Amino acid sequence: MGWIKYVGLLVVVLLQVRSVQAQGKLKTMLEQVAALQGYIATAEKGYRIAEEGVHMVRDIKSGEFDLHKVFFGSLERVDAGVLKSPVLDEAWQYAVLSDDQEGQQALRILTTDGGWAMTDGERLRQIMGIRNELRVRYGQVRRMRAVKDWLAAQQQKEEAYLQTLKKMYGY
């Protein structure tokens, strides 16, 4: 923008060289040069305002990106409230009692920083879903163990019965 000032000054110099011309024309030309200098000043102010606006937009955009980066980074961290949740304790108990390795692995990933990126609410919903599945599996394991124990008891009774029969009949 500085070159426009030089053009204005050149015009003034040229006007001084042509002092032969009439005073009225010279006065008009000087007024025009003054007006042009005013326009130059206004244009420079407008340019500075536009430049500051561009910088402000860049700063806002950069700040918003940083906020998004912080937010998405926080999704990979497990909140202490989730780790102290009774739902998580219950899920771990069912996983251990039913000896469910997949359930234990899923809970481990859910409760480890950097495992899965999700909000605390989503994380708790996942844990509750796993807990419910493990609760069902634990019920099945308990029933199978009860049947196994019953079958073992029946086998012992039959074995005792056979021993009694062998003694009675001399085998």
Question: In the numeric block, which tokens belong to residue 71?
Answer: 């937010």
Range of weakest confidence among 15-19, 98-102, 165-169: 15-19
pLDDT digits (tens, 9 = 90+) for 115-127: 888 888 899 999 9
Q: Where are the domains of the chain?
A: 2-73, 80-169
Which pLDDT does position 8 carry in this prediction?
Answer: 67
Measure Cα distances from 112 to 30, 71, 117, 123, 138 in Å.
77, 17, 10, 11, 24
Q: Identify the band that residue 22 occupies on the pLDDT scale cut at 50, 70 and 90.
A: low
